[in-house]
Amino acid sequence: MKKSKYSFSNLTLPLMLEMLLFTMLNNIDTLMLASYSDKAVAAIGSVGQVIFLTILFFQIISNGSGILIVQNLGARNKINAQNIIKISFILNLVLGVIISIILRKYTDNIILYLGFKDELYRIGVRFYKIIAMFSFVTALQLVNNSVLRSYGYAKLSVKINIFTNFINIIGNAIFIFGLFNAPILGEVGVAISTVFSQIIGLIITMYFIIKKLKIIEANKNINFISNSLDILRIGIPSAVESLLYNFGQLIIIKLIATLGDSALTARAYIVTIARFVMVISVGTGSASQIITGYLVGAKHYKYAKKIVNKIFLKTILSIFISTLIIIAFRKNILLIFTKDNDILNISIESIIAIVLLETGRSINMVYISAMKGAKDLIFPVIIGVISMWCIGVFGSYLAINIFKLGLLGTFIAISLDEWFRGIIMIYRWNKEKWIKTF
234-276: per-residue pLDDT in tens? 888 877 877 788 788 889 999 999 999 899 989 989 998 998 8
Q: What pLDDT shows up at residue 328? A: 97
3-state secondary structure of 91: helix
User: Is 427's pLDDT higher than 90?
Assistant: yes
Mean pLDDT, residues 156-183: 85
pTM of the predicted protein model: 0.79
Over the range 336-348, which residues count as b (16 or more CB within 10 Å of their CB) and which as e? Answer: ebbebeebbebbb
Q: What pLDDT shows up at residue 149? A: 83
Among 140, 134, 162, 292, which Cα is nearest to 209's?
A: 140
Q: What pLDDT shows up at residue 137? A: 93
Of residues 25 and 361, which shows the higher confidence score? 361
73-87, 333-347, 382-396: segment of lowest average pLDDT = 73-87
**Which ranges of 374-431 does DSSP label H, i.e. alpha helix?**
378-387, 394-401, 406-430
Average pLDDT, the chain: 87
25 band by pLDDT with thresholds 50, 70 and 90:
low
Long-range residue pairs from 194-198, CB within 8 A, at least 24 positions apart, any chain: 194/29, 194/131, 194/168, 195/130, 195/131, 195/133, 195/134, 195/137, 196/167, 196/168, 196/171, 197/164, 197/165, 197/167, 197/168, 197/171, 198/134, 198/137, 198/138, 198/141, 198/164
